[in-house]
Amino acid sequence: MRAMTDMLKSLGLLVLCAPLAACAEIDPQQNIDLLELPEGFTATIYAEGVENARQMALAPGGTLFVGSRRAGKVHAVVDADGDQRADRVVLIDEGLKMPSGVAFRDGALYVGALDRVLRYDDIENRLDDPPEPVLALDGLPDEEHHGWKYLRFAPDGRLFIPVGAPCNICDEPGFAEIRRVDLDSGEMDTWAEGVRNSVGLAFHLDTGELWFTDNGRDWMGDDLPQCELNHAPEQGMHFGYPYCHQGDVPDPEFGGERACVEFTEPVLNLGPHVAPLGLLHRHPVSRKVPWRPVHRRTRQLEPKRQDRLPHQTRDIRGRRRHRPGGVRQRLVAGPGRLGSAQRRAGDAGWRAAGLRRQGRRDLPHQPQRRLTDRPP
């Protein structure tokens, strides 16, 4: 543990992990007290009443937008007097399908709701009268296992979205990858492959290069495999899943198909089952890091994969509508390039928050449509 702490300090990486009580009503301060923080850091409660909080996005005006998963809600948290304590919590939308991922750009809030991305225009000026969402992107996989979407805009304005593996361990085309989307043209391609379940993406403030965390698989014991911090500065890199874990551990089921030396190694192995949630790059400054919601994962048996269902459609908020006779289609992403050697983070000034463990290429343009439009 001491060696890991020293390594994290050398990288400027803060990882938060806590064995929090599950399925119990306890004082939130008890969760805070369980956190192990570096010297000089403190954690306090910023807001209460934000149900099932997941990814967060801070708007230029200071409003904190928060997604959820089970709750199906998106909230806005407002600190009007700037005292680092929320003054009110506003419900932006509800009835969504796993709206875990949120991102803010050019005055609009983007919400990743399982198989689609919704856009709420001019949202900071309309908190008390939220606009109807616009469908910014459609056609993402709708598998719920690792299906919640994390969103992050790159410096060039393109949106990066991880598509998690629909299982604990499997080899499913079009999954376990990070996609890149041009929302203006609707073009989508695969940036990185072999990524089991990432819920933390960040772009280096100086280089603009992508860094991400990845949650390792289960059922290889308490000590294997480790979750990872990875660096993907170029398109086409493969990070091992499902064949290899943590850079040097072949998978018991798929490891015989490809060798670990074929893949890009992690920059840092974070520990087994630590579940890194969220990643943030900042230049070293003497400011407090933003509040992160606290989660815990309980182990459970791997669910059985159900037979494929006939194609189903959804309305803009993700409500299912069955269409008989259809066939679910998946486009298979081609093989990526082999990764380069491990690249070190150096004095990068990374911040990561880890509190829970828990494709397709060249897709056709998806026209934007408003809620009142009839679906095709």
Tens digit of each residue's pLDDT (9 = 90 or more) over 288-302: 444 444 343 433 333
Give the chain's mean pLDDT. Answer: 79
Is 176 or 40 the better-scoring residue by pLDDT? 176
Residue 92 lies in a domain: no
Q: What's the pLDDT tens digit per position in 330-355?
A: 323 333 333 333 333 333 334 333 33
Q: What's the pLDDT tens digit per position in 94-110?
A: 999 999 999 999 999 99
Number of structural domains in the chain = 1
| Predicted local confidence at residue 256, as pLDDT | 97
Can you tell me the distance from the alpha carbon of 192 to that of 212, in angstroms, rounded to the nearest whole number? Answer: 11
| Predicted local confidence at residue 319, as pLDDT | 62
Q: What's the pLDDT tens digit per position in 48-64?
A: 999 999 999 999 999 99
| Predicted local confidence at residue 3, as pLDDT | 53
pLDDT of 268 over the 70 cut: yes
pLDDT of 312 over the 60 cut: no
pLDDT of 47 over the 70 cut: yes
Can you tell me the distance from the alpha carbon of 90 to that of 51, in angstroms, rounded to the nearest whole number? Answer: 11
Tokens of 277: 């949630």
Tokens of 158: 């393109």
Residue 82 lies in a domain: no
Q: What's the pLDDT tens digit per position in 172-181?
A: 999 999 999 9
Residue 63 lies in a domain: no
Amino acid 363 reads L
Can you tell me the distance from the alpha carbon of 26 to that of 162, in angstroms, rounded to the nearest whole number? Answer: 33
Peptide bond into 225 cis (omega under 30): yes
pLDDT of 81 over the 70 cut: yes
Q: What's the pLDDT tens digit per position in 204-262?
A: 999 999 999 999 999 999 999 999 999 999 999 999 999 999 999 999 999 999 999 99
pLDDT of 115 over the 70 cut: yes
What confidence tier does 281 reach under pLDDT thresholds 50, 70, 90? confident
What confidence tier does 375 reach under pLDDT thresholds 50, 70, 90? very low
Residue 160 lies in a domain: yes
Rounded to a whole number of angstroms, the CA Rg of the chain reads 20
Query: Residue 257 is part of which domain span?
Result: 1-45+138-301+313-320+333-376
Instruction: Compute how many other C-beta atoms are within 10 angstroms of the C-beta atom of residue 280.
Output: 17
Nearest partner of 166 among 152, 177, 150, 179, judged by Cα: 177
Residue 163 lies in a domain: yes
Nearest partner of 75 among 96, 60, 44, judged by Cα: 96
| Predicted local confidence at residue 283, as pLDDT | 75
Cβ proximity of 31 and 61 under 8 Å:
no
Per the DSSP assignment, residues forming a β-bridge with 161 are 179
Tokens of 20: 């929090």
Can you tell me the distance from the alpha carbon of 297 to that of 272, in angstroms, rounded to the nearest whole number? Answer: 13
Residue 125 lies in a domain: no
Tokens of 121: 């225009």
Residue 220 lies in a domain: yes
Q: Taking residues 180-204, report their average pLDDT.
A: 97
| Predicted local confidence at residue 28, as pLDDT | 76
Residue 355 lies in a domain: yes
The 3-class SS string of 146-172 reads CCCCCCEECCCCCEEEEECCCCCCCCC
Can you tell me the distance from the alpha carbon of 241 to that of 255, in angstroms, rounded to the nearest whole number? Answer: 9
| Predicted local confidence at residue 52, as pLDDT | 94
Is 42 or 190 the better-scoring residue by pLDDT? 190
What confidence tier does 27 reach under pLDDT thresholds 50, 70, 90? confident
| Predicted local confidence at residue 232, as pLDDT | 98
Using CA of residue 202, residue 358, residue 103, residue 30, what is the dihedral sign? negative
pLDDT of 153 over the 90 cut: yes
Buried b / exposed e along 127-140 (16+ C-beta atoms within 10 A)? beebbebbbbbbeb
What confidence tier does 282 reach under pLDDT thresholds 50, 70, 90? confident
Go through the chain and tell me how many residues it has: 376
| CA distances for 341 relative to 7, 237, 344, 350, angstroms | 19, 11, 10, 20
